[in-house]
Structure 1
Amino acid sequence: MNRTERLYALVDELRAIAPRPRTVDWLATRFAVSRRTVQRDLQALMATGVPVRAEAGRHGGWFIDRNATLPPINLTAPEALAVAAALAGAENATPFSAAGRGAMRKLAAALGESAIEEVRALTDRIHVLPSRTVPHVLAAVEQAVAQRRVVWIRYADAAGRESEREVEPGGLLAAEGSWYLIGWCRTRRAGRGFRLDRIRAAELRDEPAPDHAISRLDHDLAGRARHAESLRSLSGSR
């Protein structure tokens, strides 16, 4: 068993008995390596973001948080290329794209050499121009949607006129090449769509937001999204 195989096997072993721990001695015996090697492997896993933790004490050891990681996923070569293309094409203004770089590294680590070369060749041919979306704005919007919390924004309309809003987020919508925050605007007392690249500033509030369905908040944008999906379905059936 080489080191890469052992690292995956370590994660599988810890996940299988989670949340109970395994001692370093037990793992060293299990994988027929030294205690020092196991310690080094566990530290390497932590450095790559795998949620392995050490627990001190008589009954302590190393364990993994099953809620913080996914089980192994076996991708075919075409599926791996599809995921790689999506990650490579995710610009900085795409919601939740910040984690894409780490996902790309993990995807590459899980593939064979030939597949890795295909992924590298594909991603080298995908380029995304810089976005005007402010990074801290995107982070606040992501958290507002994920945690269902009210968010304050300073928004500029198509003419550049700015206004301040408090928004109860319903979700995110991609339409006609742009991303929108869809939510209930307390200022206008109506559902609205806010283009992310026109949000000049954003601050997350501590206040929980009511549950809103996108289709009920912005009929126009949601309708266009459904129309585009219908066209894709029709095209794919031909």
Structure 2
Amino acid sequence: MDRTTRLYALVEELRASAPRPRTVAALAARFEVSTRTVQRDLQALMESGVPVRTTLGRGGGWTVDPAMTLPPVHFTTEEAAALAAALAAAGTPYAGAARTAYQKLIVSMTGPAAAAAEGLAARIVTLPSRTESAVRTAVEEALSNGTVLRLSYVDSAGRASDRSVEPAGLLTAEGRWYLIGWCRTRRAGRGFRLDRITEATSTGEAAQPHDLAGLLRGSAAADAVRSAAPAW
């Protein structure tokens, strides 16, 4: 068993036994390698973001949180290449998460699927985003946590303003990303181009839920298609 396959199998072994911990010695015997090799593999998994952890003392060992990991998913070569290409090309927001997801996807694959995915991803290049990482992070967290954002924004005419926004979702169009939300300042649905947001901070206040399609209704983006929707 090569190292890539063993790393993948280690995670599945820990998932299968969760929440019961497994000792390094037991894992080494299971995969017929040295305890030192298992320690290195577990450390590599931790550094790549896999939620493995260790507890000390009697009855301790290594565990993984099943709620924070996915069970095995078998992709065809074409599916794996498409996912790798999409992740490699992902721009803001969630660009950081896309990069780590791409790394995990490549590590989990072997054979023709891995070669095809890496080959396609290697032929995709992206220009660095002008959106500041602090702004991107604040937008991501507000969308995930459902909190109100305080924005400093510069419109297309160069006018600066401060807004309180209840985020509803994201829109991508012609290479641009927009935060769509209910603007408390204007008391209406608005779209904010991410590269025109100069500062974004979370107020910590829970935002009212808003229907993304409803906010887009009547705008040029009214026919926008959800990215997760099947194309049929």
Instruction: Give the TM-score of the pair, scaled to structure 1.
Output: 0.87
CA separation of 1:123 and 1:4: change in aligned 2, threshold 3 A: closer
1:193–1:221 CA contact under 8 A, matched in 2: no
Matches for 1:42-81 after TM superposition, within 5 Å: 42-81=42-81
The 3-state SS of whatever aligns with 2:6 is helix
Give the C-alpha shift of residue 209 in structure 1: 1.0
1:23 maps to 23
Mapped to 2, the partners of 1:155 and 1:79 lie a distance apart of 39
2:224 maps to 225
The 3-state SS of whatever aligns with 1:133 is coil
The 3-state SS of whatever aligns with 2:200 is strand
Mapped to 1, the partners of 2:2 and 2:32 lie a distance apart of 12
Structure 1, unpaired ranges of 5+:
none
1:148 maps to 146
1:149–1:209 CA contact under 8 A, matched in 2: yes
1:108 maps to 106
The 3-state SS of whatever aligns with 2:222 is helix
Q: Could you say which structure has the higher helix fraction?
A: 1
The 3-state SS of whatever aligns with 1:88 is helix
Instruction: Give the TM-score of the pair, scaled to structure 2.
Output: 0.89
Matches for 1:111-122 after TM superposition, within 5 Å: 111-122=109-120
Mapped to 1, the partners of 2:180 and 2:146 lie a distance apart of 12
Which deviations, in whole Å up to 9, do the C-alpha atoms of 1:153-174 show, x marking residues without a partner? 0111111101000101111112
1:214–1:222 CA contact under 8 A, matched in 2: no
Which deviations, in whole Å up to 9, do the C-alpha atoms of 1:128-149 show, x marking residues without a partner? 2333222211111111101111
Match of 1:96, as an amino acid? Y
Mapped to 2, the partners of 1:25 and 1:15 lie a distance apart of 17
1:175 maps to 173
Mapped to 1, the partners of 2:129 and 2:33 lie a distance apart of 48
Indicate the percent of aligned positions where both proteins have the same amino acid.
Answer: 56
The 3-state SS of whatever aligns with 1:41 is helix
Which deviations, in whole Å up to 9, do the C-alpha atoms of 1:168-207 show, x marking residues without a partner? 1111112343211111111011111111111111111211
2:168–2:210 CA contact under 8 A, matched in 1: yes
Give the C-alpha shift of residue 113 in structure 1: 4.2
2:8–2:108 CA contact under 8 A, matched in 1: no
1:130 maps to 128
The 3-state SS of whatever aligns with 1:120 is helix
Count of matched residue positions in the alignment of Structure 1 and Structure 2: 229
Structure 2, unpaired ranges of 5+:
none
Match of 1:87, as an amino acid? L
Give the C-alpha shift of residue 222 in structure 1: 4.4
1:34 maps to 34
Match of 1:11, as an amino acid? V
